[in-house]
Amino acid sequence: MLLYQYFRTWKSFILAQIIMALTYAYIGEPFCAWVKLVHYLEWRYRYSFLYYIIVGIATRALILKLASLSKPQDLTTK
pLDDT given for residue 54 in this prediction = 96
Q: Of all residues in the chain, what percent carry a pLDDT higher than 70?
A: 92
pLDDT given for residue 3 in this prediction = 86
pLDDT given for residue 2 in this prediction = 82
DSSP sequence for 9-75? SHHHHHHHHHHHHHHIIIIIHHHHHHTTS---SS--HHHHHHHHHHHHHHHHHHHHHHHHHHSPP--
Q: Which residues of the chain have pLDDT under 70?
A: 73-78
